[in-house]
Amino acid sequence: VPGDVRLDDLFIVLRAGARRVALHAERALDVRTVRLSDIQPAQGLIPSARHFSGVAMIEGGVVFLPDVESFLAAADLIELPQASAA
């Protein structure tokens, strides 16, 4: 259930082409800098990973990097039901 946005809420800000997108996050575990040279194409490792642009190995695990433009394009295709006036 969506709630009110508070000053202490967390957001992940991404660039998707010409758009900037803010994703509301429940929590953040860490902030890392990943060198571009450390990112491998996701499809090279997982052929069905069409919504991921890359994969990076970091200390402690693997990070899948979402293809934000692909997510937004898929979301644009979803028709939301009209809100009824109460």
- As given in the structure block, the two tokens for residue 2 are 């969506």
pTM for this prediction: 0.57
Distances (CA, A) of 23 to 11, 20, 59, 74, 76: 5, 10, 24, 16, 16
pLDDT in tens, 4-34: 788 888 888 887 778 788 888 888 888 888 8
Contacts of 62 (CB under 8 A, 6+ apart): 55, 56
pLDDT in tens, 41-75: 887 777 777 778 888 888 878 888 888 887 777 76
